[in-house]
Chain A
Amino acid sequence: MHADQDIKTQDHHEELTFKKYFSNIWVAVRSLIKGLKITSKYIYSEPVVSIEYPEVREVLPENSRSRLFNDAENCISCLQCATSCPVDCIYISANRRDKEAPKIKTKDGTPIRLDLTQYTIDTALCCYCGLCTTVCPTQCLTHTTDYEYATYTLGQMKIDYLDPEIRRWRDRIVK
């Protein structure tokens, strides 16, 4: 449309008079001084705000939503977290518990009627919205403040919470 037409340049400069020329210089010098004043104030009187990351680590606020942790011993396999998840990244499977098996309860006294056989969260899919932790009836699924868990492969982001390795460092990350 425009290509074959003669495009007028948007010329927006007024005519430069002698007086204007010098007033422009004055305004430019004034704004330069103003900027330098602020700069010198920052050099001498403002405190340093940067955090040198690997040496100094910021402590996140208590209810910060980072990596999910499920305390599998207290999980009653109610599937509420999996249904509330908007991206479907929680995979749970459970079997009915034998009637002869000893009866076990969670920390807050809810009887466990199902044996958890799989509890996996794909943290690569997880959107950290926190909806799953709010519906959990036994408070076993929580967000931790652990934010350093980068992995080398995508597969490693899938965390199996029944793995004994994870249970071992459970105490480190639980709030």
Chain B
Amino acid sequence: MDNQIIINEDIESPTDPEFERLKTELLTINMGPQHPATHGVLRVEIQTDSEIVVKATPHLGYLHRCFEKHAESVDYRGVIPFVDRMDYLAAMNMELGYSIAVEKMLGTEVPIRAEYIRIICSELQRIASHLMYFGTYAIDLGAFTPFLYAFQEREFILRIFEEISGARLLYNYFWIGGVWNDMTSDQLKRISGFVDRMEGELDKYHNLVGLNKIFIERTANVGVIDEETAYSYGATGPVLRGSGIDWDLRKKRPYSIYDKFDFDVIVGEGTQGKLGDCWDRYYVRMMEMKESIKIIRQALEGIEEGPVMGKVPKIIKLPKGEIYLRTECPRGELGYHIISDGGKTPYRLKVKSSCFTHVSMLPDLAPGQMIADFVATIGSIDIVLGEVDR
């Protein structure tokens, strides 16, 4: 066997001039499209120098469903099921922006009870979406148990949504002019019980994962997005707030009835490392769930009896014109640009998605990171590919 092993005795040590003449090249690795760390079907082509990422190029389009073009051929009510399918983890928030935009153009008054139900649902959805982030991010970093905890609580929210709307993920619940079904007092009571329990659970999660030594080591000082980078790329949502910028549309440009509620905007502080690292983004999301709980509590107190559907014509025809409306979704700002030519279907429907801008930050964040840190960075910006590709 000995004679099969070829030992190049000319090269003795890396300092040998012979070693210098050896050809070296970067290794190209395709991360995804089917990769558990990319949260969907994102393909990142990375060039690596041993374990250091030198260059990362995200390739998009694996989940492209031609939503914007297809919306031009279905009526305004029929767009809502497609809107759901953009960010399938926060479908309620997707619907909220679209229905407010259409209502504003149509001039429809939404009944006050429907507004409250919308707030409760979209904040519950924000909790569910952030729980999903919490679970999958822990998986990215190698811990499986938090995922199960998060899904146990998320299951309750999905159950409530299933009872009121009929579906677990793609609800089609916020209709133009109100909501589809009314919530019963029993369901409201259960939600109230849930948020009480959730507050304690969140502390537990944060103690278990967020303050864990291994978790801090993996996330603090990793994937730092400084203030300037966040501004220049147009980052929104928790990514922007994680970099220390106080910007929340619910507070700064209130839509629906968000101006009635009292809550804080959570901003990253750089407690464990540099400002704008993965840990800060994690922290912003965890604390945002607590703020959502605050909003839900106030909404449960203020909810009034009444109808849940306003007066909407049977066939919706928007007046000629256009509107751009943005809302704060769990992953950032979502903008709808609807252009109407007075017909039954939109003339053009353009969506500005926050995930798309966040994906575009990856080539800037990646150089110099370890591959494992790069996985942590992708997880921390929390993208949903349905929204990126649309």
Contact = CB atoms under 8 A, between A and B. Distances in A.
Interface in A16-47: 24, 27-28, 30-31, 34-35, 38-39
B222 A2 contact: no
Interface stretch (A4-12, A70-78, A106-114): A4-12
Contacts, number: 89
A51 to B, nearest CB: 11
B26 to A, nearest CB: 6
Nearest to B145: A39
B49 A65 contact: no
A42 to B, nearest CB: 9
A63 B55 contact: no
B110 to A, nearest CB: 18
B163 A7 contact: no
B334 to A, nearest CB: 20
B82 A7 contact: no
B211 A86 contact: no
A127 B70 CA distance: 14
A49 interface: yes
Nearest to B161: A61
A7 to B, nearest CB: 5
B367 A7 contact: yes
Given A7-B368, A24-B213, A28-B214, A2 B78 contact: no
A140 interface: no
A59 to B, nearest CB: 12
B152 interface: yes
Contacts of B49: 7
Contacts of B166: 61, 63-65, 130, 143
A129 B162 CA distance: 13
A2 B367 contact: yes
Contacts of A61: 159, 162-163, 166
A67 to B, nearest CB: 12
B81 A86 contact: yes
B52 A12 contact: no
A60 interface: yes
A1 B55 contact: yes
A7 B167 CA distance: 49
A50 B250 CA distance: 37
Nearest to B71: A86
Contacts of A9: 52, 368
Contacts of A38: 204, 208
A131 B81 contact: yes
A129 B52 CA distance: 46
Interface residues of A, number: 33
B273 interface: yes
A79 B159 CA distance: 33
Interface string B207-220: 11001111000001
A138 interface: no
A91 interface: no
Contacts of B152: 49
A162 B211 CA distance: 61
Given A63-B163, A131-B78, A8 B213 contact: no
Contacts of A39: 145
Contact of A86 (B82, B181, B220, B367): B82
Contacts of B212: 31, 34-35
B366 to A, nearest CB: 9
With a 10 A CB-CB cut-off, give which of A9, A39, A84, A129 has the most chain B CB atoms. A129
Nearest to B173: A130
A160 B111 CA distance: 40
A10 B163 CA distance: 49
A43 B8 CA distance: 57
A10 B162 contact: no
Contact of A28 (B77, B208, B213, B367): B213
B93 interface: no
A120 to B, nearest CB: 20
Given A63-B181, A64-B162, A31 B367 contact: no
Given A61-B162, A129-B172, A131-B77, A12 B213 contact: no
Nearest to B164: A63
Given A34-B207, A128-B167, A2 B54 contact: yes
Contact of B208 (A7, A10, A35): A35
B369 interface: yes
Interface of A: 1-3, 7-10, 12, 24, 27-28, 30-31, 34-35, 38-39, 49, 60-61, 63-65, 84-86, 127-131, 134, 143
14 contacts: A2-B55, A7-B367, A7-B368, A28-B213, A34-B207, A49-B152, A61-B159, A61-B163, A65-B166, A85-B78, A127-B81, A127-B170, A130-B172, A143-B166
Interface of B: 26, 47, 49, 52, 54-55, 74-75, 77-82, 84, 145, 152, 155, 159, 162-163, 165-167, 170, 172, 180-181, 204, 207-208, 211-214, 220-222, 273-274, 367-369, 373
9 closest residue pairs by CB, A with B: A86-B78, A12-B221, A129-B81, A65-B166, A28-B213, A10-B368, A61-B163, A31-B212, A2-B55
